[in-house]
Amino acid sequence: MTTLLAFLATLAILIFVHEYGHYRVARLAGVRVLRFSVGFGPVLATRQDRHGTEWSLSALPLGGYVKMLDEREGEVAPDQLAYAFNRQSLGKRAAIVAAGPLANFLLAILLLWGLNLTGIPVLKPVLGEPAPASPAALAGIRAGETVVAINGEKPESWQDMHLLLLKHAFRDERLRLETQDPSGHFAYRNVIAPPRDEAFEQSPMSVLGLTRYLPPVEAVIGQLSPDGEGQRAGLRPGDRIRAVEGAPTAHWDEVVKKIRASADKRLVLRIERQGREMDLALTPRPITEGGQVIGRIGAAPRIDPSVMETLRGVARYGVWDSLTRALARTWELSAFSLEMMGRMVIGQVSLKNLSGPITIADYAGQSAQSGAVAFFSFLALLSISLAVLNLLPVPLLDGGHLLYYFAEFLTGRPVSDRTQEIGQKIGISLLATLMFFALYNDLQRLLAG
C-alpha cells in the first residue's frame, strides 16, 4: 500500500506540475483553456472554475493533458478566435509548449534548493575492501580509504561519488581516484574500467569492485525480509550466527562472503538465541549481481547507530550556495540523462537500462519508507528525467512540437498537416517501442528479484 500511494503521489505531483506549466503560460498568453486533466480515460472527478476551465481527475494516471481552444480540434466561434491556440504568434505557441518541461526543471531546482537549505544526511565517500582481482583491488585500493577526487572532480558524499563514477565510467577507460587513508596519507589509484558489457551497465560499482566501507559488525541478525530465505528457515532478529557449515564466524562480513558464495547450495548455520545454540538449514536464493550469480538470504545485521556516526554527516548550505548547487546538480543530471539516452540510441548502452512504471513504483515506495529527504530527492531526479524526455525531438512529445515550430521559424510557414500526421505515426511507434522495452525490463527485474 505504501508503494502504491507513493507511486500515485509521485505521478500526481509530476504530472500536475508539468501540465500546470502549460496551463499557466497559456493563460498568460491569452489562450482559453478548456480542460486541465491529470490522467487519461474516464473522468473520476471534475469541477469548472470561473474562467470556464474544467479541472479533471481521470482513471489512468500515466500522464495528463491541457486542452486549449484550437480551430484544428473543432469549430471556434468568431468572437473566440483571438483566444485560440493556433491563432497565437510562433513565440507564444513555443513558450506554451516549452513551459511543461521547464516547470519540471523548476520543481527539481526548488526541491534540491530546499533540501540543501534544510540539510541532507550523507554518507562519507569511504571505500570498503574491494572484491579480489577486481579493477579496484588491482589498483591497490584498501578498506578505509576516503575518495577525495575522481578524475579531478571532488565528491562530497557517497551519493556524489556514485554519480561521478557512473559518469566517468561510461566516458573514460581509466578512473583516476585520489584517496586518503585513515592516517592522512594521499594516494592516486588508477582503476582500469573493463569492457562496457551488460554486467558493467547494470552494476558498474560491483564490476569495478568498489564497495561502501562498514566498520566491523557483529554477526547478529537485525532485520529479515518478509519473503527471504532467512525468515523461511526460522531465523529471527537478535539471532547471533556462531558458525556457517562448521566454520566459526565473528563478524557479519564473514557470514556474507559464505552466503554469497553458496547460491542454491544448502548451508547449516549454528546460531545462538537467548543463550541456547541450535542449527538451522537454509538455501541462499541465487540472484545476478554485477554479472555474477551470488546467494542471498534476505537478512541484514544489527548495527549500533553510534558505530555509523563517524561515517555520516549532514550537507547544509546557505541560501545562495544552496541555489547554485541546485542549479548545477539539475544541469549535471540533465546532461547525464541525455548522454545515456544518446548512448542507447547508438548502441553503446543496452536498452536493458530503461525503467518503466513498475520500477518507478518500487523506487517511489522505497524512498517514501526511507523518509522525506529520500522521497523528495527521488522526486527531483524523476522530475528532471521527465523534463529531459519531453524535450526530445520526437513527435507527440513537447520537443517534437518545438521542432515543428523551429522549422516554421526557418521557413516562415507552419509544417503541413500531412507532415505532422506522418510525424505523429512515427512518434507513436517510437513511444510504444520505448514503453515495450521499459515494461519488459520491469518484468524481468521483478521475476529475477
Q: Which residue has the cell 554485477?
A: 290
Report the C-alpha gap between 297 and 285 in whole angstroms.
6
The per-residue b/e assignment along 227-265, b for 16 or more CB within 10 angstroms, e otherwise, is ebbbbbbebeeebbbbbbeeeebebbbbbbebbbebbee
> What does DSSP say about strands 240-244 and 221-224: parallel, antiparallel, or unpaired?
unpaired
Q: Which residue has the cell 506554451?
A: 96
Grid cell of 236 as nine digits:
529471527
Catalytic residue set = 19
DSSP output for 302-345: ---HHHHGGGEEEE---HHHHHHHHHHHHHHHHHHHHHHHHHHH
Q: Which among 55, 23, 61 has a CA at the least distance from the CA of 41?
A: 61
Report the C-alpha gap between 278 and 242 in whole angstroms.
10
Grid cell of 80 as nine digits:
473566440
Report the C-alpha gap between 397 and 375 in whole angstroms.
27
Q: Radius of gyration of the chain from Cα atoms?
A: 26
